[in-house]
Chain A
Amino acid sequence: QLVLTQSPSASASLGASVKLTCTLSSGHSSYPIAWHQQQPEKGPRYLMKVNSDGSHIKGDGIPDRFSGSSSGAERYLTISSLQSEDEADYYCQTWGTDFRMFGGGTKLTVL
């Protein structure tokens, strides 16, 4: 069964970097995923698609500070030079012909 697993929380200091992880369940390591950011009280914002080979395609206007990568069944979102506005929930998403699926989300705190 396809499942996306994310750590519930993460924290990093202003100006530092953080790497968030989304893990695909066994047997699904070839799936691409998408990362979305949701700031408090707002709708989600698409950040990027990350393929199994680590290549990624960012959405419109997404700063260079955001990047994606992959290793096996893990998909990563790295945010560098953290800013206060990066404090948000981050969700990974995958999909099939007849469904979409989201991970449980990671709440990022910028210290």
Chain B
Amino acid sequence: GENVEQHPSTLSVQEGDSAVIKCTYSDSASNYFPWYKQELGKRPQLIIDIRSNVGEKKDQRIAVTLNKTAKHFSLHITETQPEDSAVYFCAARGEDDKIIFGKGTRLHILP
């Protein structure tokens, strides 16, 4: 089955700097890669996603890149703000429609 690895587990960046979170997946048939943000005590919520037929997708300060050959994808947050502090999860969905999540990255934005 699919296995998703996520790094780093914790990331601290200065406000205004960029943050990058990286994930790898094992199933070459996976075709959909969402990213979820979970604020403390709240539910995970989708912030951006990418399909396997696209290499990059942007939405304001966040972007996701996908390298199908290497089976890795990354989340980029630019001009970080205090409200970006949260846990971020990457995920991959295979042909069986199961979405497997990475272990999460706790992002701290330092003032």
A associates with B: no
Residues of A at the B interface (CB closer than 8 Å) are: none
Name B's A-contacting residues (CB within 8 A). Answer: none
